[in-house]
Structure 1
Amino acid sequence: MTTEWHGVAAEDVDEVPDEAGVRLRRRSRALLGSLLRPYRNRIVLASALLIVQNVSGLAGPYLVSVGIDAGIPPLVDDRNASVLIAVVVALVASTAIEYASRRVYLAISARVTNGVLFDLRRRAFAHLQRLSPAFHERYTSGRVISRLTSDVDALSDMLDGSLDDLIMQTLNLVVIGGLLLVLDWRLGLLTMLSFPLLGLLIAWFRRRSGPAYRRTRETVALVIVHLVETLGGVRAVQAFRREPRNDEIFDGLASDLAAADRRVMRLMAVFAPGIFGVGTATTAVVLAAGGWLAVQGDLQVGVLAAILLYVRRFFDPMQQLSVFYNSLQAATAALEKISGVLEEQSDVAPPTTPTPLPARAGRGRSLELRGVRFGYADERTVLPSLDLTIPAGQTVALLGATGAGKTTVARLLARFYDPTAGSVRLDGVDLREVDDDALRASVVTVTQENFLFGGTVADNISFGRPGASRSEVIDAAAHIGAEPMIRALPLGFDTPVGQRGSRLSAGQRQLVAFARAVLADPDVLILDEATSSLDIPSERAVQRALETLLADRTAVIIAHRLSTVEIADRVLVMENGVIVEDGHPADLLSVGGRYAELQELASR
């Protein structure tokens, strides 16, 4: 079941089929194992320190029993305190060892935790950058943020404080069980009668808490998605008075999150008191039985005191298992989500054995589409079968109504998508065989919505070629006619552009994007409605600069403004993914047809 909220798919994840759940757990364990593997030596050392800490801590009750049974009678009879003093010294020493091992363990575990989280964030971020635009179009930015923030934080909570509780409790289970049997096998067996009850309670909680925590992680992600979309489009929200509806949607998402949290809390309300109840009942039974044995003379008082201390020491931490399972289930659900993202494969996977592009000979590089068919997911076919050849150095203009397939052609030429059939070639080499770095260096796209990053104008221009000098940045801006505009800004090239370039006008942002493309100096330049945000004077200035810029490279220009087409060597008119006219602008005007009709409409 899927509910649509403001473009957000809320999946019904309350229950996961057994087979799918096994696959999710296997995948998340594999991810955690790969993250921990580089730190295995430190983990072994930390585990050894935990054992030392555990043994030192568990020595306390035994030393207390020795002090009571072997140290106090000599002190009372002949005032000989040597045994008691030795016990006290041993108790102090064990406490000091416990403290020192705990301190070193915490330092090592902190380094391991920080390293694991750093590796996970870096791996997830790098993988997300490599995934194709198709993935980011279907996987909202809010979900991505959730994976890298709240999900990673859930794993951090487990690694920071809960994992050592599990290890310590496991050690307690083994060591205390053995000590109880050594001290008095009757009371030891009596204590162990509680183990099946604890096992059943833990198994019940694990079985029901898994789906509950998965639901919690999903609802958290949906809240973040809604926040990102609402605040990212706050101008549209306010312009169309969307606030009441968005409040309603947020209330629904927040209610779902609260319901998911309540479900977890109800489980915890059974589990934690259950552990406490079993522990209290076991302690009471052991006290009663041990007291009766002591009265009969079958058990020393010191031994009984040690047994009670061990039982208490066993069940008190057991109550912390509720906290551990809380962190464990949250971290498991988070790992399942993160591992799912890392398992995603790019729709435009890099070649295993790249084919190098031939050396550039002359002007630009040739482009070719051979029998290309393409359609976006769950949509009709946009390009049924397209054949197109663009010789090196030619400037081609693509015209047509909205939905004709122009932008799709541009995306295929830049390899943001791969065709479902046929091939797209650069200098005769299939783009699927070209190394990504070589392709991005050869083909650059400038769109209507070019993204500006936080930083200065100069920073955003140099994005086209990292490491470019300041003079090269200024030359690129001058080449496109943007230098006067930039010099007029408050700090010139050092003017901060704001979030997504919010401090610049649409036209100014577009000129910065053009300068960025000029600095990149590609073999092929694709302009997808790149001048639509410019005013007429700026557009004319850019067109004059483009005549020089495009002289030694291949260019594909997509535009609704026919004035932009004036610099083209060739015009292609598209309808429903098919080229219906192809020729020089003057030739197409002379014969009439769709291009002539478009010119006539533009002149009215």
Structure 2
Amino acid sequence: MSVVGVQGEERHEYTKAESRHIRRRSLRLLGSLLSPMRPTLALTIVVVLISTAGQVAGPAIIAYGIDRGLPALLEQDWFPLAFAGGAYLLTGLVGGFLIAWYIRLSARISQAVLIDLRKRVFLHTQKLSLEFHESYTSGRIISRQTSDLDSIRELLDSGVNALVQGLLYMGMTAVMLVVMDPVSGLILAVALVPLFMLTRWFQVRSQVLFRRSRVVSAKLIVHFVETMTGIRAVKAFRKERRNERDFAGVVEDYRDVNAKVVGLFGTYEPGLMLIGNTTIAAVLLFGAFRVVDESLAIGALLAAVLYTRRFFDPMEDLAMFYNSYQSAASALEKISGVLEEEPSVPDPVKPVDLWKAEGHVRFDDVEFAYTPERVILPHFDLDIPAGQTIALVGSTGAGKSTLAKLISRFYDPSDGRVTLDGVDLRDLHPKDLRRAIVMVTQEAYLFSGTVADNIALGRPDASFDEIVAAAKAVGAHAFIESLPNGYDTDVNKRGGRVSAGQRQLISFARAFLANPAVLILDEATSSLDIPSERLVQEALQTLLADRTAVIIAHRLSTVAIADRVLVMEHGRIVEDGAPAELIGGTGRFAKLHAAWRDSLV
């Protein structure tokens, strides 16, 4: 037998064992979040117990005032009635003060939990390997930090309060009802049978609907984020109408599931009211007969009616809690699932230091596959001496970018090893690895902040003169100086104030300032115009002279500065030699070069 579960934005069938694992995983996460707050939790429990007891004492004090105070007052004894009035006022004041204190304590706990959880999600997802981020959509990541955490916040801020206070209130009320009048307590016990059946009916159906609501809500976020992120492609391919239809379908699904939730409450709440009013009527009827028979005091009857009515008061809040609980439980499952993810490229247990890397890169019988069916590099060997500049060329899917990712240790080989100066990258200290190897990609991502901040990303302690020198080296200084505030210009979100080519030049300056032993350029000149590319090529000839460089480029003009060209096909090197040597031959690179030269003509 299986149960329906939600992971990410899709529905899966979970076995009972998997469901138990997910619940245990979520409970472990919740326990670890609450563990530092144990003293505050203990104080909160004491406060809520005392405040609830004060509230529950009210009808019993009223009964005492009626049954003892009024007869005593007829005999000119005002003390019992005054005592009842004073006690009722005192319990109200103490209860109000303690409730306010309880709300503050619970808010402190919920905020501490949320801060801890937000930090954990951010830090953990940042630590996860590139493989995770390439398979986990940005919309889903945003959903974890927004709607899912908001669901947990709502539960902690109001839902838990309703649950704790409601259950304590109902339990103490039932006990006091039995103490005041066991017959009324028996009537309430009988009413619990239909109450349990109604609540169970609501629970089963609401569980499915609330989970479905979370799924559709996540789809809304994902659809919106992906549309806004890819807005250029949307407009370029006139996808607005299709997006409108797709989004309208998701919105309608969200409306339908919420309408069903409202319909569910529309049945549950009237049913709850019917059971409650019927129970109160029964307590009043049976109590009235016993008052006439003088087997029950009228004050005790009033207290029994009040206790019966108050017993049902929290039920609606508990139903609303179940709504919050289902959303929060689903959100906690997703978040705990992300936090359970392990990096596919883990840090070494006993890292090897490499303070000064020379840049000798070697592939020893490396095999790499993204999946068992998708082998990219089958038994690959390559030796790149320190200081050599190699260019990788080949058709799309030949394995060039995969090779670069393995050198950068964004992925680990499935078999064999990749070494830097004889040290397996899996054993190399992460700080030394990132200091020694830098990759510049086609994306050229810029973070919010100044141009200088973005150039100094790899070396935050760099001086302003060093930043300017790096910009001059790659030909970026002139356009940076022309910006409104020069190096202090805010590049705006994702580099919106500079062109694609200018972003690429800034990313070059960033890489050169980091001064790595191995520099990888993955289609890094693709966004540059011809004049800018020539400037960069002139800079590269000087800056790559004393470092190992791996250049992946479709533009063969960039390949001209390489010492060595590797032509790749289907994860294998089919040609290896100096550019002039290969151009003069009759192989694959010679044909590529001839086709490129003809295209220029």
TM-score (norm 1): 0.94
Query: Aligned residue for 1:105?
Result: 102
Relative to structure 1, the CA distance from residue 379 to residue 481 in structure 2 (aligned partners, 3 Å threshold; closer, same or farther) is farther
Partner residue of 1:564 out of 558, 564, 585: 558
Give the 3-state SS of the residue equivalent to 1:194 in structure 2.
helix
Instruction: Work out the CA distance in 1 between the residues paired with 2:9 and 2:89.
Output: 57
Q: Which amino acid aligns with 1:385?
A: H
Question: Could you tell me whether the CA contact under 8 Å between 2:352 and 2:427 is conserved in 1?
Answer: yes
In the alignment, what sits opposite 1:459? 453
How far apart are 1:251 and its partner, in Å?
1.4
For 1:467 and 1:280, the matched residues in 2 are separated by: 73
User: What are the equivalent positions in structure 2 for 1:475-514 lying under 5 Å apart?
Assistant: 475-514=469-508
Q: 1:271 aligns with which of 249, 268, 271?
A: 268
Which shifted more, 302-311 or 171-180? 171-180
Pair 1:360 & 2:356 matched: yes
- Distance in 2, Cα, partners of 1:438 & 1:248: 50
Equivalent residues of 1:16, 1:211 under 8 A apart: no
Q: Which stretch shows the higher mean deviation, 454-463 or 470-479?
A: 470-479
Question: Quick check: 2:377–2:572 contact (8 Å CA) kept in 1?
Answer: yes
Q: How does 1:374-413 map to 2 (within 5 A)?
A: 374-377=368-371, 380-413=374-407
Whether contact under 8 Å (1:510, 1:530) holds in the other structure is yes
1:49-92 C-alpha deviation (Å, 9 max, x unpaired): 100110111111111111111111222x2333222112111111
Structure 2 residue runs of 5 or longer lacking an equivalent are 1-6
What does residue 149 of structure 1 align with? 146
Provide the residue aligned with 2:10 in structure 1.
11
1:298 pairs with 2:287: no
Distance (Å, rounded) in 2 between the aligned partners of 1:329 and 1:562: 58
Secondary structure at the aligned position of 1:384 is classed as strand
Residue pairs, 1:85-234, within 5 angstroms: 85-234=82-231
Structure 2 counterpart of 1:286: 283
Partner secondary structure for residue 363 of structure 2: strand
Which amino acid in structure 2 is aligned with residue 88 of structure 1?
G
Q: Distance in 2 between matches of 1:397 and 1:88?
A: 92
Equivalent residue for 1:529? Answer: 523
Conserved in 1, the CA contact under 8 Å of 2:8 and 2:140? no
Gap change, CA 1:22 and 1:9, over 3 Å in 2: closer
Deviation at 1:411, TM superposition (A): 1.0
TM-superposed CA distance for 1:438, in Å, is 2.2
Question: CA–CA distance in 2 between the matches of 1:467 and 1:113?
Answer: 38
Q: Are the equivalent residues in 2 in contact too, given 1:166–1:324 (CA < 8 A)?
A: yes
Aligned partner (choices 237, 250, 258) of residue 261 of structure 1 = 258
Q: CA deviation at 1:181?
A: 1.6
1:28 aligns with 2:26: yes
Is structure 2 residue 440 aligned with structure 1 residue 446?
A: yes
- Residue aligned with 1:191, SS: helix
CA distance in 2, matches of 1:235, 1:600: 34
Cα deviation, residue 376, structure 1? 2.8
Where in structure 2 are the equivalents of 1:574-585 lying within 5 Å?
574-585=568-579
1:313 is matched with which residue?
A: 310
Aligned to 2:426, the other structure's residue is in SS state helix
Query: 2 CA distance for matches of 1:494 and 1:378?
Result: 49
Q: Mind listing any 5+ residue stretches in structure 1 that lack a counterpart?
A: 1-7
The Cα of 1:344 is off from its aligned counterpart by: 1.6
Which residue is equivalent to 1:429? Answer: 423
Cα deviation for residue 153 of structure 1 reads 0.5
Q: 1:161 to 1:549 in 2, by over 3 A?
A: same
Question: CA 1:371–1:531 in structure 2 vs 1: closer, same or farther (change >3 Å)?
Answer: same
- The Cα offsets for residues 1-22 of structure 1, whole Å up to 9 and x where unpaired, read as xxxxxxx996335x65444333
Structure 1 runs, 4 residues or longer, greater than 4 Å off: none
Letter of the 1:291 partner, please give it: A
Letter of the 1:47 partner, please give it: I
State the alpha-carbon separation in 1 of the partners of residues 256 and 88 from structure 2.
49
Q: Over residues 96-146 of structure 1, what are the superposed CA-to-partner deviations in whole Å (9 max), with x where a residue is unaligned? A: 111111111111111111110111111011111111222122211111111
The structure 2 residue matched to 1:73, chosen from 54, 71, 74, is: 71
1:591 corresponds to: 585
Measure the CA separation in 2 of the matches of 1:162 and 1:226: 29
1:155-210 CA-partner distances (Å, limit 9, x unpaired) = 11110011122112222233222211211212112212222333333333333332
Question: Could you tell me how far apart the structure 1 residues matched to 2:80 and 2:335 are?
Answer: 58
Which stretch has the larger CA shift, 468-477 or 156-165? Answer: 468-477
Q: Could you state the TM-score of these two structures normalised by the residue count of structure 2?
A: 0.95
What's 1:4 paired with?
Answer: none
SS in 2 for 1:356: coil
Q: Deviations over 1:206-243 (max 9, x none)?
A: 33332322221111111111101111111221221111
State the alpha-carbon separation in 1 of the partners of residues 459 and 37 from structure 2.
37
> Which residue does 1:39 correspond to in 2?
37
Amino acid at match of 1:31: L
Contact kept? 1:276, 1:319, Cα under 8 Å:
no
1:551 pairs with 2:545: yes
Using the TM superposition, name which of 313-322 and 586-595 deviates more: 586-595
Q: How many residues align?
A: 592
Partner secondary structure for residue 386 of structure 2: coil
What do you get for the CA RMSD once the two structures are aligned?
A: 1.9
Amino-acid identity (%): 49
CA distance in 2, matches of 1:292, 1:471: 97
Q: Which amino acid aligns with 1:228?
A: V
Question: Equivalent residue of 1:98, what SS?
Answer: helix
CA–CA separation in structure 2 for the residues paired with 1:114 and 1:316 = 28
Q: Deviations over 1:490-523 (max 9, x none)?
A: 2211222222112211110000000111121211
Q: Once the 2 structures are TM-superposed, how far is the Cα of residue 151 of structure 1 from its aligned partner?
A: 0.6
Q: Partners of 2:491 and 2:373 in 1: how far apart?
A: 37
Q: Tell me how far apart the structure 1 counterparts of residues 228 and 300 of structure 2 sit (CA, whole Å).
A: 66
2:401/2:552 contact within 8 Å kept: yes
* Structure 1 position 379, deviation (Å): 6.0
Given that residues 174 and 311 in structure 2 are in contact (C-alpha distance below 8 angstroms), is that contact kept between their aligned partners in structure 1?
no
Give the 3 Å change call, closer, same or farther, for CA 338–178 of structure 1 in structure 2: same
